Amino acid sequence: MSKTSSNRALVAAGLAASALAVLAVPPASAQSPAGAWPSRPIRLIVPNAPAGLADITARLVGARLGEALGQPLVVENRPGAGGTIGTGAAVKAAPDGYTLLAVFDSHATNPHLFKNIAYDTVNDLAPISLLVRGPLVLVVHPGVPAKTVKDLLTLARAKPGALNNAIVGPGSPARLLVELLELTAKVEVTQVPYKGASGALADLIGGQVDAMFATVPSISGHWKAGKLRAIAVTSEKRSPALPGVPTMNETLPGFEAESWVALLAPARTPAEIIARIHAETVKVLAQSEMRERLGEQGLEAVGSTPAQADKWIRTQIERWGRVIREQKIVIE
């Protein structure tokens, strides 16, 4: 064979090998969106201020979830307008799995309290899992002469409006519980609004306000240190995290509520990615260490399916909507 013929044969063989290599790689459109995901850090928006239940849960669960996914979950607090600002930012984000949202109780009350929310609470977000559930706790400054719910109500009735109660978020269940307390127990208190739990707790510990409904994890350390007195929890049963603390319904039958956090994604996020996040989230929440750490905070690790999370959120929206309408509660 001549040198020229040999070169031509080598070139032809090289082209054939290249063609086979190209054919062996599937086109980009045929690759699963979840296959290459995640390839960079994931943003986890918390539409509430630091130190609140959503923030605490997002950081605790998010750290382990990031390890499971192979990319860090970077928590981004976007508080304001009862959580609607941060939620709106998540709704507008690209539905590519790189933006997630951890919502708090107010997510279910906002549709009834804000007239011009720039998103659809149900249809613009895709539920992934209900992360945790837990009671709120009624706490007072140690200087308040009340050790029980009955004591506090007696104090409130003796001097209407003299009791200053901190509220966090215009549509939070903590605020709604104060409204229900006034209506159910026929008392009058002064509501002092705060943008976040940290500011409210700081003033409560400092004695600038007298009482507030707060989440167990946000007050647990202060309660153990004797800086706050726990009067009652809002769950149906007493909480193991607050031994000896009675329930509200022991004094006011039917007075019950639970706080919760759910993990969501922008609507139209690929189903494969939702499934991957859900699977890893459930595994994280099933870890004994995680359940123990959450339990110490008075929280129950849930790890629901997306369908169960969707049903829970819809039920909460309906429940609180009924309360808001019946009690004619509005945001001033």
User: Helices (DSSP H) in the chain: which residue ranges?
Assistant: 3-24, 53-69, 84-92, 106-113, 149-158, 173-185, 197-206, 216-224, 271-286, 288-296, 306-327
pLDDT band at 188 (very low <50, low <70, confident <90, very high): very high
The tens digit of pLDDT for each residue in 63-98 reads 999 999 999 999 999 998 889 999 999 999 999 999
φ/ψ of residue 9, rounded to 5: -65, -40
Examine the pLDDT at 3 and tell me if it is beyond 60: no
Whether 1 has a pLDDT exceeding 60, the answer reads no
Q: Which CATH architecture has domain 42-134+259-327?
A: 3-Layer(aba) Sandwich (3.40)
Kindly state the tokens that stand for 248.
Answer: 């509200």
pLDDT one-digit tens code per residue, 98-157: 999 999 888 999 999 988 899 999 999 999 999 999 999 999 999 999 999 999 999 999
DSSP label at 248?
A: G
CATH number corresponding to 137-250: 3.40.190.10
Q: What is the mean pLDDT of residues 38-44?
A: 98
Q: Does pLDDT of 182 surpass 80?
A: yes
Specify whether the CB–CB gap between 261 and 59 falls below 8 A. no
- Closest by CA to 141, choosing from 51, 196, 208, is 208
pLDDT band at 266 (very low <50, low <70, confident <90, very high): very high
Q: Please, are residues 234 and 247 in contact by the beta-carbon 8 Å criterion?
A: yes
Residue pLDDT, tens place only, 217-244: 889 899 999 999 999 999 989 999 899 9
Q: Where in the chain is the domain with CATH 3.40.190.10?
A: 137-250
* Average pLDDT of the segment spanning 297-323: 93
- The reply to whether omega before 135 is within 30° of 0 (cis) is no
| Segment among 13-22, 195-204, 283-292, 315-324 with least mean pLDDT | 13-22
Question: 30 vs 315, which has greater pLDDT?
Answer: 315
Q: What share of the chain in percent tops pLDDT 70?
A: 89
Residues of the chain with CATH 3.40.190.150: 42-134+259-327
Packing angle, helices 216-224 and 197-206, rounded to 10 = 30
- pLDDT tens for 47-62 read 988 888 899 999 999 9
**How much is the average pLDDT of 249-260?**
92
Q: CB–CB of 232/246 below 8 Å?
A: yes
User: What is the pLDDT, as a whole number, of residue 85?
Assistant: 95
Average pLDDT for the chain: 88
Whether the predicted pLDDT of 165 surpasses 50: yes
Task: Report pLDDT for 172.
Answer: 75
